[in-house]
Amino acid sequence: MVAKTRLIDILDKFKDMTIAVIGDMMLDDYIIGEVTRISPEAPVPVVNVKEERFVLGGGANVLNNLSALSCKCHSFGVIGDDGNGNRLLNELKKEKIDTVGVVIAEDRPTIVKRRIIAQHQQLLRLDWEDKKDITPYHEELIIKNLKSHLDKLDAIILSDYDKGVLTPTLAKKVIEIARENNIIVTVDPKPSNALNYMGATSMTPNRKEAMECMGLSVIEDTEKLGLELKAKLNLDNLLLTRSEEGMSIFLEDEIINIPTFAKEVYDVTGAGDTVISVFTLAAAAGASWHEAAKIANVAAGVVVGRMGTSTVTKEEIIEFYDKIYHEWK
């Protein structure tokens, strides 16, 4: 049995952990208003804007989740030499996230995803991005910056949104470095890049992503899917998220299914970022991978009950845990 005191002990160690996030950093821009009429110019709603806010997105949202849990964070990625890049850096610094590893490139814009929302519904999304691979020069800068931080790191998270930062060369080099230095390295993958992550410690795909990683359009056996993906990529373990069915953790010689406990699902935006953040951080803090998956499951249950990209605190994890568990088995 694992009691609530065990959860609190793990969460208390979060503040002593240091984690690097390498990947596609972006800003999520929310324009929020209300619709009361249709435009006379075209058959589209007119949004009367009430609020605009920027939040950290993509790999930057992973960092934001870690920071909200009192973890020390180091960011490694590429942004544009533009106003949005400055805004992103300022948002990271505001959350006390180290930005020394962020490279500024003149040949690409900072990634921005602008969502227009009214009556709690997303009406439109506008994206600014350039998905081409970063240059070998920028790859080398990221590796150099990462090596200068290795002695501080407890784990590395690779956050792949397929926007060109985690090139095959960079991904494979990071995993090689992590293995050589006995550092946990976890991956939130894009299926088209799955083979870049062979030898990582763990991966956190959803079921659809796992199917795409294996080149499948239909599956009958989720457990077989997870086992085959884990073996194909030579992972120590695999955390497969299954939407309303919960999660499955594939360990060395065991598969454990964890049911979901979300009361209401308003928005799954950024939920994957929360899962890999909490999963990795808990494991780095001494939790077993099974325990780490359970804590990540609780954290995901909190954030999907909110609109938009969100984070979770230790206090919220404990509060939600109290509602769904009396003890772990």
Residues noted as catalytic: 273
Which residues on adjacent β-strands are paired with residue 79? Answer: 104
Per-residue exposure over 120-130, b if at least 16 CB sit within 10 Å of its own CB, e if not: eeeeeeeebbe
Which helix (H) or strand (E) segment is 55 a member of? strand 45-58
Classify burial at 326, counting beta carbons within 10 Å of its beta carbon; exposed 0-12, middle 13-18, buried 19 or more.
exposed
Contacts of 178 (CB under 8 A, 6+ apart): 156, 184, 185, 200, 201
Maximum CA extent, the chain? 64
Say how far apart CA 9 and CA 247 lie, in whole Å.
Answer: 23
